Structure 1
């Protein structure tokens, strides 16, 4: 019997995003290949709930899909999500989307995070992995955001986002169709290596020495890091003098999710080097299917890689502990 399931990399499009020509262009390949994607992204009620039931998802933490939004657009999107949560408080919780590309990103993002947590009841934030111009968050201009998250004791989910034009032309444009460029630079590979690099930058900057209780979540089976963990640990001694080594940060400050990666093979590696209490189930809806996630959990249960207790930790108990939400048993 599969235990109750909580998912937490599950996206929607706000009114602003659904009418943005830039965001529509970024998602052109997804719209082309994923049936009814637009309908699924913009729905925060009946369709989403039916899709959750199809994959036996008891509870979903919803976040905005990747794409740069202004400060006012972030506020509007968060208010829209808050309204949907109030209609279905037993099924939904929310991650804030933050204006990380704002001219004063740390202060404005921190202020919106505080508002969303203290006034709207959100359980953290999910933010684009870099700014619209390609900037990462290891600099002082973002410290206010990280400090706010630490002070509020809520996690920040660092989510892949679209490469800049410079990244596209330098790394991903080659002798193949433009559709291959879009895919390789995004969900096929580039997104994940980019998040992995960002996490290493945050550790190297000493951020976790300054904020030892900061909680970061990354998706897609750890964005490649578990498979390089030993080598990263070995070479991270060259990154400067830090009070807390890389492995300690990985063990205490980083959580990873399964989102959209439906093979038990990487899980075999992860379970050998990552605390099961830091692994969480997620789907990446609607870019991935809840039904595929359910089948993955069944395969994981049959694989012998986890005990029933560990399966329950991954399925829902870790999410309950980290985010203060509750999975009600709904399905037999």
Structure 2
């Protein structure tokens, strides 16, 4: 029998996003290939709960799907999520969506969401619509605030800028292939990995040594390049800690949407067990597939029962200071 499951990368669409033509265009391929996606994204009630039960997810940490929004849109989305959490407090918790294009507003909204709404962290896009990453000084207040609140920041993939799409992902293949390669098939993950390297190279973790960063999709390629990164990162400048020390201390990874024990075998060899957490990426991935993955992991012999429980829910309980929901009937 599997232990309870807490899932950290579980998305919804706010009212504002549902009516946003650009965001719906960005998700056109997902809407085409994932049955019922629009309904699942906009639902924060019975449909979501039924899908959680099907995958034996006891608690969802819900966050907004990728897409840069204004400060007011972020506030409205967070308030909408808060209302849903109040309806189902034993099943839902929240990550705040933040206005990453407006660095001065980020810390204010994060503080409001944690202190007033009881959210357990934030999930933000990996860059703004213009392609700005967060290694610059203007984003330091975000990370300082997250550290002071003792809440993690989940850095999530987002859509490439038009120039990146044209330069790296457009070629002698259909536009549908271009969209897929640039996003969930590959580009999203390499982009987040590069962002983490930028943060380390900038010296961010010298300034906020207790900052907690979460990344999904089996570590966004980093575990598989870890030794080479550690070998070459001393060229990035003089910092107080090595890349491996930062990776071991500040970086947490989830399984979201990546249902093979093969990458997990690598991760278990080079990543601290208490930094590995379960996630699904609902509704872009199915809770039932996540459940099957955990059953496969249990049978694989790669982890003990205690280690499986840590990955399934205990690491999330410790990191986010939450409790798993009640067992499903």
TM-score between both structures, scaled by the size of structure 1: 0.98
Alignment of 1:149-228 (within 5 A): 149-228=146-225
TM-superposed CA distance for 1:329, in Å, is 4.5
Partner Cα distance (2:169, 2:31) in 1:
21
Structure 1 runs, 4 residues or longer, greater than 2 Å off: none
TM-score between both structures, scaled by the size of structure 2: 0.99
Partner Cα distance (1:148, 1:226) in 2:
27
Partner Cα distance (1:330, 1:61) in 2:
17
1:244-264 CA distance string (max 9 Å, x none): 110000000000000000000
Which residue of the other structure, out of 134, 138, 141, is the alignment partner of 2:138?
141
TM-superposed CA distance for 1:328, in Å, is 3.3
Give yes or no for contact 2:96–2:123 (8 Å, CA) kept in 1: yes
Matched residue SS, 1:84: helix
How many residues are treated as equivalent by the alignment? 329
Give the structure 2 partner of residue 74 of structure 1. Answer: 74
1:42-64 CA distance string (max 9 Å, x none): 00011000000000000000000
Partner Cα distance (1:32, 1:2) in 2:
33
Of 320-329 and 15-24, more deviation after overlay is shown by 320-329
Give yes or no for contact 2:135–2:199 (8 Å, CA) kept in 1: yes
Partner Cα distance (1:51, 1:109) in 2:
32
Residue 95 in structure 1 maps to residue 95 in structure 2: yes
Give yes or no for contact 2:90–2:326 (8 Å, CA) kept in 1: no
TM-superposed CA distance for 1:331, in Å, is 4.2
Matched residue SS, 1:133: coil
Partner Cα distance (1:169, 1:268) in 2:
35
Partner Cα distance (1:111, 1:247) in 2:
32
TM-superposed CA distance for 1:118, in Å, is 0.3
Give the structure 2 partner of residue 120 of structure 1. Answer: 117
1:210-230 CA distance string (max 9 Å, x none): 110000000000000000000
Which residue of the other structure, out of 294, 302, 305, is the alignment partner of 1:305?
302
Residue 241 in structure 1 maps to residue 238 in structure 2: yes
Give the structure 2 partner of residue 32 of structure 1. Answer: 32
1:194-222 CA distance string (max 9 Å, x none): 00000000001000011100000000000
Partner Cα distance (1:162, 1:263) in 2:
25
Partner Cα distance (2:7, 2:302) in 1:
21
Matched residue SS, 1:256: strand
Partner Cα distance (1:110, 1:329) in 2:
33
Unaligned stretches of 5+ residues in structure 1: none
Partner Cα distance (2:86, 2:32) in 1:
33
Residue 282 in structure 1 maps to residue 279 in structure 2: yes
Residue 255 in structure 1 maps to residue 246 in structure 2: no
Unaligned stretches of 5+ residues in structure 2: none
Partner Cα distance (1:180, 1:101) in 2:
28
Alignment of 1:12-51 (within 5 A): 12-51=12-51
Matched residue SS, 1:10: strand
Note closer, same or farther for the CA distance 1:257–1:109 as it changes in structure 2 (3 Å cut): same
Partner Cα distance (1:326, 1:243) in 2:
35
Matched residue SS, 1:9: strand
